[in-house]
Structure formats: structure tokens, C-alpha cells
Chains A and B, each alone.
Chain A
Amino acid sequence: KAGVTQTPRYLIKTRGQQVTLSCSPISGHRSVSWYQQTPGQGLQFLFEYFSETQRNKGNFPGRFSGRQFSNSRSEMNVSTLELGDSALYLCASRRDRGGIGYTFGSGTRLTVV
């Protein structure tokens, strides 16, 4: 079965712009989580969505937001981009209710210039 699909793979944006990243989870997976990965901070949890509702939220500013659609696909949005937002953004999905671990996508590499 298809894995977690993230689009686009690479993105270059200018400071002050906004960006939307997309994630399609594995079929049947209803929980989608987003992580930011940077060399200095490692993997940091952004938020988790389940059944179109945000279930958990990490310690990121309000410029970072997300949503989930009825087909479990998820998007995250970053507004007013800053240079420090340059990172690999990873999406992970799992079945929930006993799902073993999380399956990660290949990520979207965002570069803010």
C-alpha cells in the first residue's frame, strides 16, 4: 500500500511570505502528526490531527497552523515566514487505537531566503 505522501518535496520562499504543505496519510490512518526537523533542534513536534480535530499541539508560535480534511489528508500552513523556519517538515500517520508507531513521509524541505 502507498506510504505517507508529502508535497511538495522542495520549496523556496521569501521571508514574510506564507506557505502551505500537504500530507496524504496511509489509507486507513486517521491520525496525522507534523514535525519540524532542523540540525540544531532535531525533530520537534508541531501538532497532531485526528478526525479533523487538533488533538495535541507542540510549543510553536501561532504562525504555524494546520488542518485535517474528512479524507484524513492534512495541510500545515506557516505565515509570515522567518529565516529560522527553514527546515525539513515531516508528516507522520498512524492507525490510532493501537497503531504501532508512526509512519513518516519523506518530508518537505523548506528554505526561506
Chain B
Amino acid sequence: GQQLNQSPQSMFIQEGEDVSMNCTSSSIFNTWLWYKQDPGEGPVLLIALYKAGELTSNGRLTAQFGITRKDSFLNISASIPSDVGIYFCAGQEGSQGNLIFGKGTKLSVKP
């Protein structure tokens, strides 16, 4: 079945540093989504990408949809302690397809 390869698996960074994580797929997706999950909670949508090559920002977060529709990256600038959590990429086929998730990137921020 379809799989998303998300890297890195975990990151330990200093507060104030920038963070970059990415996701690749063997399949083409029409939509890429980035979610963040805090302990004991469900994932929360951060950014949605709909067009190949699209670059979208949400505050300190920036995400891009790859030209080939098979990859995406998420950047977090000037990290703060509340950025701690697990970040998931997800690909969606069509407008009614279910989400295929990456395995997540666990982010730890040292103050």
C-alpha cells in the first residue's frame, strides 16, 4: 500500500533554532497536510497544500508542496518550547480520499 516516508524521526534542538522536516511518497497526492500532535490529544491541522510548488506560511511555519506532488517539507523558524510535539505529514488522494500519514517527527526543544 501507499506509504509516506517522513524524516527525521526525532529532533533535539535549542530554543531559537530553525527546524526542517520532510516527507516523501512513492505516489502522487492532490493534497498535502501537516499536523501537530500534543501528548494526549489528537492531531491539529497546521498547514494544507493544494498545488504543486505551492509555498504556504502560517506564522513561524512554512510548508511547500513538491513539484512532483510526491514530497513536501515543513520549516519552523525560531523554535520555542511550545513547538514540542509530534509533527505528521499526510497525503490525500482527490477531494474525498482518506489520509495517508507519515510516521511522524518528534520535536524536542531545549530552553
Contacts and interface: CB of A to CB of B under 8 A. Distances in A.
Interface string B83-111: 00000101000011111111110000000
Interface residues of B, number: 22
Contact of A42 (B1, B41, B104): B104
Interface string A72-113: 000000000000000000101000111011111111000000
Interface stretch (B13-21, B22-30, B42-50, B65-73): B42-50
Contact of B96 (A96, A101, A103, A104): A96
B42 A106 contact: yes
Interface in A8-62: 33, 35, 42-45, 48, 55-56, 58-59
Given A100-B48, A103-B45, A105-B42, A45 B100 contact: yes
Interface residues of A, number: 25
A106 B41 contact: yes
Nearest to A55: B96
Interface of B: 1, 33, 35, 40-45, 48, 88, 90, 95-104
Given A58-B98, A59-B1, 13 more contacts: A4-B42, A42-B88, A43-B43, A43-B88, A43-B99, A44-B101, A56-B98, A90-B42, A97-B95, A98-B95, A100-B45, A100-B48, A102-B45
